[in-house]
């Protein structure tokens, strides 16, 4: 069996912030009517996390559950466990009009960490990233320069970003430019209450 590697094979860069392609990450997309009990149950069981509200992402020990749209959820779990969890999901769903698909190899995931993380992300995404507006626990699908991406915060200095695997190199390059040494904007740091 061939060795599975992620899009950029754990590439990393240190500039204003630390940028890491964090390697293989299990991801399962679940589409269906999110008000159905079965769909809710499948999502929470597979991710181990509580059911998220609108635009929320909830985290568990072994995964996370993200609200992607009114009829779509994203389940994050260890890469090796995807097929097991997916099989259980499909079985539980049965004839329910919903679809669970393994998208792990279709996506790339990045970690952006450091004090200037909000500034770096704000250079690329048309999103209000003020600490009082965008907080850990919220996931925002938006654009990163010219590509679609979903971003959320693990804590106050750590962003996570998901994009399509085919544009992983672009995402990495554009993040490196935004985090180039000497390009500090110092905007969000100045907003913090002293």
Partner 1 sequence: MLTLQCPYCGVQADETELSAGGEAHIERHGPGSSDEAFEEYLFARENPFGVHFERWRHSYGCGKWFHAARNTVTLEVYGTYPAQTTEPPADIRKRISGVAPGWTWRFLG
Binding site for partner 1 (CB under 8 A): 54-55, 68-70, 72, 126-128, 140-143, 148
| Helix (H) or strand (E) run with residue 128 in it | none
* Structure-block tokens of residue 179: 């985090």
Smallest gap from residue 143 Cβ to partner 1 (A): 4
Neighbours of 85 (CB within 10 A): 23
Cβ nearer to partner 1, comparing 13 with 164: 164
* Nearest-approach distance from CB 47 to partner 1, in angstroms: 19
Q: Which is nearer to partner 1, 90 or 142 (CB)?
A: 142
* Cα-to-chain-centroid distance, residue 176: 18
Q: What's the closest the beta carbon of residue 188 comes to partner 1, in angstroms? A: 18
Q: How many helices (H) and strands (E) does the chain have?
A: 5, 11
Closer of 38 and 56 to partner 1 (Cβ): 56
Q: Which is nearer to partner 1, 143 or 192 (CB)?
A: 143
CB of 142 to partner 1, least distance (A): 6
Nearest Cα residue to 176 out of 31, 18, 33:
18
Number of C-beta neighbours around residue 128 at 10 A: 10
């Amino acid at each position: 069996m061939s060795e599975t590697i992620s899009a950029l094979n754990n590439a990393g860069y240190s500039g204003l912030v630390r940028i890491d392609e964090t390697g293989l990450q299990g991801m399962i997309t679940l589409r269906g009517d999110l008000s159905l009990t079965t769909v809710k149950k499948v999502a929470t069981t597979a991710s181990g996390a509580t059911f998220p509200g609108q635009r929320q992402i909830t985290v568990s020990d072994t995964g996370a559950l993200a609200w992607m749209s009114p009829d779509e959820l994203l389940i994050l779990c260890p890469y090796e466990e995807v097929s097991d969890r997916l099989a259980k999901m499909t079985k539980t769903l049965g004839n329910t009009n919903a679809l669970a698909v393994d998208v792990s190899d279709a996506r790339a995931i990045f970690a952006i960490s450091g004090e200037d993380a909000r500034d770096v992300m704000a250079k690329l995404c048309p999103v209000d990233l003020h600490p009082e507006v965008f907080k850990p626990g919220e996931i925002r699908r938006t654009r990163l320069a010219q590509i679609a991406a979903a971003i959320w915060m693990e804590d106050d200095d750590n962003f996570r970003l998901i994009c399509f695997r085919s544009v992983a190199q672009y995402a990495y390059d554009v993040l490196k430019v935004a985090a180039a040494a000497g390009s500090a904007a110092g905007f969000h740091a100045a907003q913090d209450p002293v």
